[in-house]
Amino acid sequence: MECYLAIDIGASSGRHILGSVENGKINLEEIYRFENGISKIGNEYCWNIEQLFKDIKKGIKKCKEIGKIPSSIGIDTWAVDFVLLDENDKMIGNAVAYRDDRTEGMMEEAFKIIPKDMMYLYTGIQFQRFNTVYQLLSIKKNNPEILDKAKTFLMIPDYLNFLLTGKKVNEYTNASSTQLVNSFERTWDEKILDELGIKKDIFQEIKLPKTNLGTLRKELEEEFGFDMEVILPATHDTGSAFISSVCNDSDSIYLSSGTWSLIGVENRFPICVPQAMEHNFTNEGGIDYRYRFLKNIMGLWVIQEVRRNLDNKYSFGQLVDLAKEHIDFSSIVDVDHDRFLKPENMVEEIKLYCVETSQKVPQEVGEIAMCVFNSLAHCYKKAVYNLEEIFEKKFERINIFGGGCQNNLLNELVSKVTGKELLAGPVEATAIGNIVAQMMSKDILKDLSEARQVIKESFDIKIFKSN
């Protein structure tokens, strides 16, 4: 049976998941899992790209060990981060992570050159201090010698694909997150690059999901003992996750729930109106030139950090159970505030916020967890209200997918506070979307509509009612 390998790398871990189709249903099998994370090198928080590639290779070898060699492979990761290569294709400096504080104040520097409303009109991308454009501006201001030496700009999955194939391309969904791609022309915006003084020749041709990059480098084929094709999925993990929505209509809101929560709708055109900018919605590229009109919310990062601050004494399931014991705890924090991006201590930051806003301060673990989940639900509610205001219509339902959709307490809270029917699933949305893109590239599935129908029939979907 032909199978396809999705390598899905998130901020804390990565997985190799094999997908195949049997009797009209998609089957998934996790082959290999590895850790990921940022660490401090000197004064910078960085990704260990060398270790990531070692783990990618280990997982591929694992496929051969179990006798399930994929016909193709696709890699997806988080967005905005990148590497720069010199004339010998060697990395210049570190792969600095978006949570590093080097971009502090860079948005304001950019707006002195390009007014904020014009930047939004050009790109349609929401303003986040860690966007690629502000990372590049930081390098230009503080380490100009790095940009002077740079010959190639590759985002993290682009670089991993380069290591596999020797091909240099920038994939569309991830490139759109840089705030350097013109949302209407779908190419690098030369006007922005010129005005910000970032040289244009380091950027590669933008390629769409489903593009076949060809086979492995010869030395890797020899190392693995087999060859396979490398196909671009939506390399931005959220782009892959949105493919897996089981709602294929205009009355549904999509919510990808993981370390980040991304809530919005799917469009055929970008929405760059002042109202969208005011609410800080983004128009990220999707498969088949669809636009993911969404809002980026801090997400489960908050409870992940709470768990870490508690020395990982509790599983996420236990935190949910403890929260249920304090279901009436009503204090709410603005999880989307910059102060929760990377605080020294998330638990103390939550308590301090409650003090500053004259709310009851959570003390017990269950109260802290309930505060986080309730805050997330109300943040989603605000985004839903903004969407309905912009589109001047009521949406009927929310489809929440990704790892966070397993949190039934959060699902119940979201359905209750938004008043919407909520469909939870599929859990492995990103890996499924990655695999489906490979299948569409090979004409196993003819289009996105067929793919979503197959996904709906392949995985369990839970339904939560608001009343």
Residues 277 and 165 in one domain: no
Q: Which residues are catalytic?
A: 237
Per-residue pLDDT of the chain (467 residues; tens, 9 = 90+): 899 999 999 988 999 999 999 999 999 999 999 999 999 999 999 999 999 999 999 999 999 999 999 999 999 999 999 999 999 999 999 999 999 999 999 999 999 999 999 999 999 999 999 999 999 999 999 999 999 999 999 999 999 999 999 999 999 999 999 999 999 999 999 999 999 999 999 999 999 999 999 999 999 999 999 999 999 999 999 999 999 999 878 899 999 998 889 999 999 999 999 999 999 999 999 999 999 999 989 899 999 999 999 999 999 999 999 999 999 999 999 998 989 988 999 999 999 999 999 999 999 999 999 999 999 999 999 999 999 999 999 999 999 999 999 999 999 999 999 999 999 999 999 999 999 999 999 999 999 999 999 999 999 999 998 87
Q: Last residue of some domain: 175, 196, 231?
A: 231
Residues 206 and 64 in one domain: yes
Residues 155 and 188 in one domain: yes
Q: Let me know if residue 451 belongs to a domain.
A: no
Residue at 409: amino acid letter: L
Q: What is the pLDDT of residue 401?
A: 96
Cβ atoms of 383 and 423 closer than 8 Å:
no
Residues 253 and 191 in one domain: no
Q: What is the pLDDT of residue 381?
A: 97
Residues 153 and 270 in one domain: no
Q: Last residue of some domain: 179, 206, 231?
A: 231
**Cα angle value 323/326/328 (rounded, 5°):** 125
Q: Let me know if residue 433 belongs to a domain.
A: no
Q: Let me know if residue 92 belongs to a domain.
A: yes
d(Cα 293, Cα 209) in Å, to the nearest integer?
Answer: 18
Residues 19 and 99 in one domain: yes
The model's pTM: 0.91
Cβ atoms of 193 and 202 closer than 8 Å:
no
Q: What is the pLDDT of residue 147?
A: 95
Q: What are phi and psi for residue 353, nearest 5 degrees? A: -60, -45
- Number of domains forming the structure of the chain: 2
Residues 191 and 49 in one domain: yes
Q: What is the pLDDT of residue 342?
A: 85
Q: Let me know if residue 440 belongs to a domain.
A: no
d(Cα 237, Cα 380) in Å, to the nearest integer?
Answer: 20
Print the SS3 string covering the chain: CCCEEEEEECCCEEEEEEEEEECCEEEEEEEEEEECCEEEECCEEEECHHHHHHHHHHHHHHHHHCCCCCCEEEEEECCCCEEEECCCCCECCCEECCCCHHHCCHHHHHHHHCCHHHHHHHHCCCCCCCCHHHHHHHHHHHCHHHHHHCCEEEEHHHHHHHHHHCCCCEEHHHHHCCCCECCCCCCECHHHHHHHCCCHHHCCCEECCCCEEEECCHHHHHHHCCCCEEECCCCEHHHHHHHCCCCCCCCEEEEEECCCEEEEEEECCCCCCHHHHHCCCEEEECHHHCEEEEEEECCCHHHHHHHHHCCCCCCHHHHHHHHHCCCCCCCCCCCCCHHHCCCCCHHHHHHHHHHHCCCCCCCCHHHHHHHHHHHHHHHHHHHHHHHHHHHCCCCCEEEEECHHHHCHHHHHHHHHHHCCEEEECCCCHHHHHHHHHHHHHCCCCCCHHHHHHHHHHHCCCEEECCC
- Give one word for 124, left, alpha or beta, with left for phi > 0 and alpha for psi -120 to 50: left
Q: What is the pLDDT of residue 246?
A: 92
**Token pair of 70 as six digits:** 């994929």
Q: Let me know if residue 290 belongs to a domain.
A: yes
**Token pair of 287 as six digits:** 């498969």
Residues 62 and 208 in one domain: yes
d(Cα 34, Cα 56) in Å, to the nearest integer?
Answer: 9
Residues 92 and 21 in one domain: yes
Residues 167 and 291 in one domain: no
Cβ atoms of 8 and 14 closer than 8 Å:
yes
Residues 218 and 330 in one domain: no
Q: What is the pLDDT of residue 257?
A: 94
User: CATH number for the domain including 396?
Assistant: 3.30.420.40
41 Cβ neighbours under 8 A, 6+ residues apart: 94
d(Cα 270, Cα 182) in Å, to the nearest integer?
Answer: 10
Q: What is the pLDDT of residue 466?
A: 80
Q: What is the pLDDT of residue 11?
A: 87
Q: Let me know if residue 442 belongs to a domain.
A: no
Residues 269 and 163 in one domain: no
Cβ atoms of 153 and 91 closer than 8 Å:
no
Q: What is the pLDDT of residue 341?
A: 86
Cβ atoms of 319 and 369 closer than 8 Å:
yes
Q: Let me know if residue 436 belongs to a domain.
A: no
Q: Let me know if residue 450 belongs to a domain.
A: no
Q: What are phi and psi for residue 240, nearest 5 degrees? A: -70, -40
d(Cα 69, Cα 64) in Å, to the nearest integer?
Answer: 5
- The residue range of the domain holding 305 is 245-425
Q: Last residue of some domain: 202, 231, 260?
A: 231
